[in-house]
């Protein structure tokens, strides 16, 4: 297609004009956020960071991890929290706050699971004596 600004010929898939750089075919490809012209890195934008830090998988794992701290709950919810936490760690990409939350979920879940299974084992062991 031809550039609306300088009328240079461009390929149909071109997002910006090769000659003058002005955006092409805004109705076909409505301004993708990663293609903004200001050139800043995505993580430097506070509004995008705020949106990404609401990563649902990380929050899901974090809630599971918190519930697993309750005595008894961790026997089942702990392994679940580990699973979801680990998936969240790998799934959040370079979102640092969500990644930290996911890592905290894994640590909490591992601690809750070990302590509660150990406690249960000690109770059973003590019962038999
Ligand atoms: Zn042009």
Q: What is the mean pLDDT of the chain?
A: 81
Q: Please list, in sequence order, all residues whose beta carbon lies within 8 angstroms of the beta carbon of residue 60, skipping any fewer than 6 positions away.
A: 84, 88
Instruction: Give me the pLDDT at residue 41, please.
Output: 54
> 64 φ, ψ to 5°?
-60, -45
Say which range, 25-29, 94-98, 110-114, 125-129, has the weakest mean pLDDT. Answer: 25-29
- Let me know if residue 8 belongs to a domain: yes
> 112 φ, ψ to 5°?
-65, -40
Long-range pairs, 85-94, Cβ under 8 A, ≥24 = 85/61, 85/109, 87/57, 87/61, 88/55, 88/57, 88/58, 88/60, 88/61, 91/55, 91/57, 92/55, 92/57, 92/58, 94/43
* In the chain, % of residues over pLDDT 70: 75
Statement to judge: residues 61 and 121 lie in one domain: yes
Statement to judge: residues 30 and 69 lie in one domain: no
Statement to judge: residues 35 and 83 lie in one domain: no
Number of domains in the chain: 2
Q: Is the pTM of this model over 0.95?
A: no
Instruction: Output 48 or 113, whichever has higher pLDDT.
Output: 113
- Let me know if residue 46 belongs to a domain: no
Statement to judge: residues 28 and 60 lie in one domain: no
Distance 12 CA to ligand 1 centre (A): 13
Distance 82 CA to ligand 1 centre (A): 53
Residue 33 has pLDDT above 60, yes or no: no
Distance 15 CA to ligand 1 centre (A): 11
Question: Which residues, chain by chain, have CB under 5 Å from ion ligand 1?
Answer: 3, 5-6, 8, 17, 19-20
- Let me know if residue 44 belongs to a domain: no
Statement to judge: residues 58 and 107 lie in one domain: yes
Residues spanned by the domain of 97: 51-128
Residue 23 has pLDDT above 70, yes or no: yes
Residue 99 has pLDDT above 70, yes or no: yes
Spatial contact of 88 and 57, defined as CB atoms under 8 Å apart? yes
Residue 106 has pLDDT above 60, yes or no: yes
Most confident of 5-9, 46-50, 125-129: 5-9
Residue 43 has pLDDT above 50, yes or no: yes
């Amino acid at each position: 297609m031809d550039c609306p600004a300088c009328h240079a010929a461009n390929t149909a898939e071109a997002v910006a004009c090769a000659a003058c750089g002005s955006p092409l075919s805004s109705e076909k490809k409505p301004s993708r956020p990663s293609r903004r012209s200001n050139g800043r890195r995505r993580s430097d934008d506070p509004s995008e960071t705020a949106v990404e830090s609401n990563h649902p998988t990380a929050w899901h794992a974090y809630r599971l991890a918190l519930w697993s701290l309750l005595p008894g709950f961790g026997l089942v919810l702990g392994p679940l929290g580990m699973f979801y936490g680990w998936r969240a760690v790998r799934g959040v990409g370079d979102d640092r706050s969500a990644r930290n939350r996911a890592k905290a979920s894994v640590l909490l879940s591992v601690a809750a699971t070990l302590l509660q299974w150990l406690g249960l084992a000690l109770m059973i062991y003590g019962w038999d004596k």
